[in-house]
Amino acid sequence: MEKVFHLGLCIDDLKGAKLAIVPGDPDRAARISQFLDNPTCLAKTREFHVYLGELNGHSVVICSTGIGGPSTSIAVEELAQLGVHSFLRIGTTGAIQPHINEGDILISQASVRLDGASQHFAPLSYPAVSDFFATQAMVKACENLNIDFHIGITASSDTFYPGQERYDTHSGYVPKSLQGSCEEWQKLGVMNYEMESATLFTMCAALGLQAACVAGVLVNRTRQEIPNVDHSEIERKSVAVVLEAAKVLLAK
């Protein structure tokens, strides 16, 4: 069987898996794999670490994407070539609304397209929206697990510093077009910043794939910039939500 270009896998390697959990961090992919039955590592190439396991008797892929839209698009495209059609993103985030607390879970219903990669799949007038049923499964998972969550719009940026209007940088400079942007998103009710959901949502909607995204809040930027919370506890909650949602989608 022919292998896809970057992941170096062929369709038989995935054993019929139709759903993938896609964190950014390769180490997080490894940790998530341990929650599956019979986990095995399929590949480690660049930022893409791929694991296969079973959840309620179904094959499930876990594939890290690295940071940002371009590498996310590669992982999603190549997994789709291998038969995957549902993508559940799990990540971390900085909240920008005062009522959101560190440790809360954010479910992205849609994303502001501050990236560039999504424009290679659809024009900017095309919305970056999550799949209704996958997002609903995330909501139900949070409710069933009694985990505090918020659902709404995410600002999805190609850059961590200027695109998210951070001034604690080498130059301290943010281009004029981005100055005041954080306040604007706050006034428009945007919950948070992250770096992958706009690409994920746009390409999956355009290609007929299913996508949803949850992120654990590491810091609320209305109060501080540097996180000082227990990352492991936030990850535990996020993973629990994604696995619970995955069970619902796999049962359909």
* Cα dihedral: 65, 166, 175, 108 (round 10): 50
Is 78 annotated as catalytic?
A: yes
Q: One of 165, 221, 235, 244 is an active-site residue; which one? A: 221
Q: In a 3-state reduction of DSSP, which class is residue 36?
A: coil
- CA separation, residue 90 to residues 5, 51, 137, 184, 241 (Å): 24, 15, 14, 26, 9
Is residue 151 within 8 A of residue 139, CB to CB? The reply is yes
From 47, 49, 58, 78, the catalytic residue: 78
Rounded Cα distance, 236 and 182, in Å: 29
Please provide residue 59's backbone torsions phi and psi, each rounded to the nearest 5 degrees.
-70, 135
221 in active site = yes
Query: Residue 23 belongs to what H/E stretch?
Result: strand 19-23
| Residue among 28, 58, 113, 166 flagged as catalytic | 166
Chain centroid to CA 224: how far? Answer: 23
Among 103, 91, 116, 18, which Cα is nearest to 242's?
91
Give the list of residues 6+ apart from residue 11 with CB closer than 8 angstroms, or none.
1, 82, 83
Alpha-helix residue ranges (DSSP H) falling in 126-196: 132-145, 181-187
- The catalytic site residues sit at 6, 78, 166, 221
